[in-house]
């Protein structure tokens, strides 16, 4: 009887582990999607949320430029950003599914109300754009970005890049 119960328990554990999904928690600054970054723009992202986040820059034509992972309470610095205007999105959650390119337990999808603009003027002033994005736990907090809530279908598909 004991052997039968033991075997059933082992088989159950084996079956459960065969279907267990692997989740990861990439380091802050890990690129989920990356494109040609030969520019001079810099974007600092501070995640003040109590959940991990993925920030996405998207070209106006709808193509994802890049996406990066930022752990809760940490920061990431994106460098080499090309001149241009990008829509900025972010999602927060836990249990990052690297195969599906999304959080298994998503807590929301957002789009900033203002686009990010990067401009380099080496000829006249030698300046380039450095921007800082604050993801705060309380949207009313000073320095928090203004954003709107999206549905998952409105959020860029990081797996396909659109």
Q: 96 with 24: CB under 8 angstroms?
A: yes
Condensed to tens digits (0 to 9), the pLDDT of residues 116-161 reads 888 887 666 566 777 777 776 555 545 556 889 999 999 999 988 7
> 22-154: what CATH class?
mainly beta
Condensed to tens digits (0 to 9), the pLDDT of residues 70-92 reads 999 999 999 999 989 999 999 99
Q: How far apart are CA 99 and CA 19, in angstroms?
A: 15
Contacts of 28 (CB under 8 A, 6+ apart): 47, 69, 70, 71, 74, 75, 76
Cα 68–chain centre separation: 5
Confidence of residue 21 (pLDDT cuts 50, 70, 90): low
Percentage of the chain lying above the pLDDT 70 cut: 77
Q: How far apart are CA 68 and CA 27, in angstroms?
A: 10
Q: Where are the domains of the chain?
A: 22-154
User: Is residue 58 scored above 60 in pLDDT?
Assistant: yes
């Amino acid at each position: 009887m004991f052997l039968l119960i033991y075997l059933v328990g082992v088989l159950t554990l084996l079956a459960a582990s065969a279907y267990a999904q692997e989740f990861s928690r990439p380091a802050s600054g890990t690129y989920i999607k990356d494109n040609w970054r030969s520019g001079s723009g810099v974007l600092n992202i501070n995640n003040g949320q109590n959940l991990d986040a993925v920030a996405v820059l998207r070209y106006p034509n709808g193509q994802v430029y890049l996406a990066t992972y930022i752990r809760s309470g940490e920061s990431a610095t994106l460098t080499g950003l090309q001149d241009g205007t990008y829509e900025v999105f972010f999602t927060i959650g836990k249990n990052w599914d690297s195969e599906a390119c999304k959080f298994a337990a998503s807590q929301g999808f957002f789009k900033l109300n203002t686009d990010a603009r990067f401009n380099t003027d080496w000829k006249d002033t030698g300046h380039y754009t450095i921007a800082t994005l604050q993801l705060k736990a309380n949207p009313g907090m000073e320095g928090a970005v203004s954003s709107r809530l999206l549905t998952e279908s409105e959020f860029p598909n990081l797996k396909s890049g659109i």
